[in-house]
Every structure is written in C-alpha cells, then in structure tokens.
Amino acid sequence: MKYMLTLFTEERDWSDIDPEEATAVMAAWDDYTKALKDDGAFVAGEGLSPSATATTIRLTEEPITTDGPYAETKEQLGGFYLIDVADLDAALEWGRRVPMPGGAVEVRPVMDYEASGSTEHSASEVAS
C-alpha cells in the first residue's frame, strides 16, 4: 500500500549554515533515503524550494492565483516521500525515522483511484 510522508518544519536559510553542519544534515537524509531504498519501500521523494517560491491557486468560481504558500505558519511543507509498504504500521515506523528533529511528518494513504471508481487513473499511472 502506498503512503505519502509529508515533511513539515520551520524553514532554514541554508546560506547561514556551517558547511560541516550542512554535510552532516544531508548525510542523515541520504542514510534515511538509502534505508528506504534498501528495504524496497522507496517510490519517490524530493525536497522543496523555500515557501517564498510557491504559488497558490484558490479554486473559486474565478480561480485566484497568489504568490507564496497557502497558509501563514512557521512550519512549511519542506518535502515528501512516497513509499510502498505493507500497512499503516510500517508507514508510521518509517515516519518516526525521518531525520528531522522538531518537525512533523504527516502519514497519509495514497488514494486508490480504481477503488474510488475512477476510469482515468490506474495505480501505475498515478505513481509515475
């Protein structure tokens, strides 16, 4: 079953981080990603550019497009992992292992389009 791990944390200005600290932080992420891959759970994952680069579309009668993230908050969506594991317990275990002290990980099942009656999507099309 596929789960999306969405990663929320306070944004950092990476230009102010000591290069050695940055290397250590990235090594922890590399180790986590490698563990997901070695376990066969990794489907996809990416970090996101800062929220200041976001554009939001409000879907109203006349869609409204605005610069920036959709909400005013200290924590921002910083990235995601799409994983394929046996069940929610396995997904939660991977979520607990995310190397992001002080952040939050939302674990959510990916929608099963076919079970929901869609004739336009298949699981393989959605994952690719």
For residue 11, what is the domain's CATH number?
A: 3.30.70.1060
Structure tokens at 31: 């180790």
Q: Residues 103-116: what's their mean pLDDT?
A: 85
Q: What is the mean pLDDT of residues 97-122?
A: 84
Question: Is pLDDT at 126 greater than 80 in this prediction?
Answer: no
Quote the tokens at residue 6.
Answer: 């969405």
Q: How confident is the model at residue 43 (pLDDT cuts 50, 70, 90)?
A: very high
User: Is the per-residue pLDDT at 72 higher than 70?
Assistant: no
User: Which runs of consecutive H residues, i.e. helices, occur in 1-128?
Assistant: 19-39, 88-96, 123-127
With H, G, I as helix, E, B as strand and everything else as coil, classify residue 124: helix
Q: Indicate whether 56 pLDDT > 60.
A: yes
Residue 44 CA to residue 126 CA, distance in Å, equals 12
Domain with 26 in it: 2-127
pLDDT at 97 over 70: yes
Question: How many structural domains does the chain have?
Answer: 1
Residues 15-26: what's their mean pLDDT? Answer: 88
